[in-house]
């Protein structure tokens, strides 16, 4: 398997290197073998780790519980089960560690425990499931038995889409933001902490806003900030940028501790 991957990679490099290149004539008196020798000195390094598929969940045709529409997220629950968010089927499907279907959570609708357009989800440390319903404007909560408990609404323009559970009732998330004032319209994203029951964040870690022109949607998304968070750890943020390469660590109170 290693040899096959290395051979395929070398062939790809050789093909890319040869396209669009012309062979220059050899200067008088030059040794044609010198260029060949220099080329042969380079070889692909051995990889530290080779990734291979060990197992998979899902089929193209068959049992509807294993046929996915459009997966937008997947993660392990605290109990070891596997959760898959399907934005097309409007539900979270639960599988055991061996890939056996257990149950589905939520359905399309605007009632309790229902979603209009789920965009992200996470688990709290005790096993509660939180699903972000972007179109419904709310966070939907289920307990560790997957029974619906309550919703958190009141977000503008929409709830945090990317989520990470960091406490029994605490979330870190990335929320779309929109501001319009006398200077113009601005759109961006904020990474913050929310305590369950409060639509306003308790801590704001970073916020990136850019001028927004409704007639030009090409700039939408330029201010996206990725983040990583887990219980008992700092919050890490990084801008999605081809010019700035930086990761910042934040203490729980929002103080930048590592630029």
pLDDT one-digit tens code per residue, 39-70: 566 676 788 888 888 889 999 999 999 999 99
Q: What's the Cα-to-Cα distance from 47 to each of 6, 16, 17, 163, rounded to whole Å?
A: 9, 21, 21, 33
Q: Which helix (H) or strand (E) holds 38?
A: helix 32-40
Q: Does one domain contain both 109 and 85?
A: yes
Q: Does one domain contain both 153 and 168?
A: no
* 77 inside domain: yes
Please tell me the distance from the alpha carbon of residue 126 to that of residue 139, in angstroms, as a whole number: 17
Boundary residue ending a domain (129, 158, 187): 158
Torsion of CA 229, 90, 149, 228, to 10 degrees: 0
* 23 inside domain: no
* 183 inside domain: yes
Residues 93-121 have pLDDT tens digits of: 999 999 999 999 999 999 999 999 999 99
* 7 inside domain: no
* 152 inside domain: yes
Q: Does one domain contain both 193 and 105?
A: no
| 158 Cβ contact partners less than 8 Å away, ≥ 6 residues apart | 134, 135, 137, 175, 176
Least confident among 6-15, 107-116, 153-162 = 6-15
Q: Does one domain contain both 68 and 102?
A: yes
Identify which has the larger pLDDT, 120 or 16: 120
Q: Does one domain contain both 150 and 170?
A: no
Identify which has the larger pLDDT, 15 or 66: 66
Q: Does one domain contain both 172 and 100?
A: no
Q: Does one domain contain both 174 and 149?
A: no
Q: Does one domain contain both 257 and 166?
A: yes
Place of tokens 């097309």: 88
Query: Which residue range(s) make up the domain with 245?
Result: 160-259
* 196 inside domain: yes
Per-residue pLDDT, 14:
42
Q: For the chain, what is the mean pLDDT?
A: 84
Q: Does one domain contain both 177 and 242?
A: yes
Q: Does one domain contain both 71 and 89?
A: yes
| DSSP-based three-state secondary structure for 118 | strand
* 200 inside domain: yes
Least confident among 23-27, 46-50, 54-58, 199-203 = 23-27
Structurally, the chain folds into a number of domains equal to 2
Q: Which CATH number belongs to the domain containing residue 110 in this structure?
A: 2.120.10.30
Boundary residue ending a domain (134, 158, 182): 158
Q: What's the Cα-to-Cα distance from 116 to each of 64, 89, 108, 140, 159, rounded to whole Å?
A: 21, 11, 6, 11, 13
Instruction: Report the residue count for the chain.
Output: 259
Q: Does one domain contain both 146 and 191?
A: no
* pLDDT for 228 beyond 90: yes
Q: Does one domain contain both 73 and 144?
A: yes
Boundary residue ending a domain (158, 176, 211): 158
């Amino acid at each position: 398997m290693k040899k096959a991957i290395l051979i395929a990679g070398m062939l790809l490099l050789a093909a890319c290197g040869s396209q669009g290149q012309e062979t220059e004539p050899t200067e008088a008196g030059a040794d044609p073998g010198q260029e060949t020798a220099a080329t042969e000195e380079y070889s692909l390094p051995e990889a530290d780790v080779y990734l291979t598929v060990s197992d998979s969940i899902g089929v193209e045709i068959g049992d509807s519980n294993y046929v996915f529409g459009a997966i937008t997220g997947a993660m392990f629950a605290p109990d070891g089960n596997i959760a898959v968010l399907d934005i097309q089927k409007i539900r979270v499907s639960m599988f055991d560690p061996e890939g056996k279907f257990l149950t589905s959570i939520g359905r399309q609708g605007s009632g309790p425990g229902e979603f209009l357009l789920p965009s992200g989800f996470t688990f709290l440390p005790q096993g509660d499931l939180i699903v972000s319903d972007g179109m419904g404007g709310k966070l939907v909560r289920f307990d560790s038995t997957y029974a619906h408990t309550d919703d958190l609404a009141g977000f503008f323009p929409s709830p945090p889409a990317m989520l990470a559970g960091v406490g029994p009732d605490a979330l870190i998330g990335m929320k779309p933001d929109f501001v319009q004032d006398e200077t113009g319209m601005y759109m961006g994203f904020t990474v913050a902490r929310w305590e369950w029951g409060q639509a306003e964040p308790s801590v704001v870690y970073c916020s990136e806003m850019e001028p927004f022109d409704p007639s030009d949607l090409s700039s939408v998304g330029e201010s996206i900030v990725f983040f990583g968070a887990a219980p008992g750890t700092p919050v890490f943020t990084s801008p999605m940028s081809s010019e700035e390469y930086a990761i910042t660590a934040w203490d729980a109170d929002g103080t930048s501790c590592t630029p």
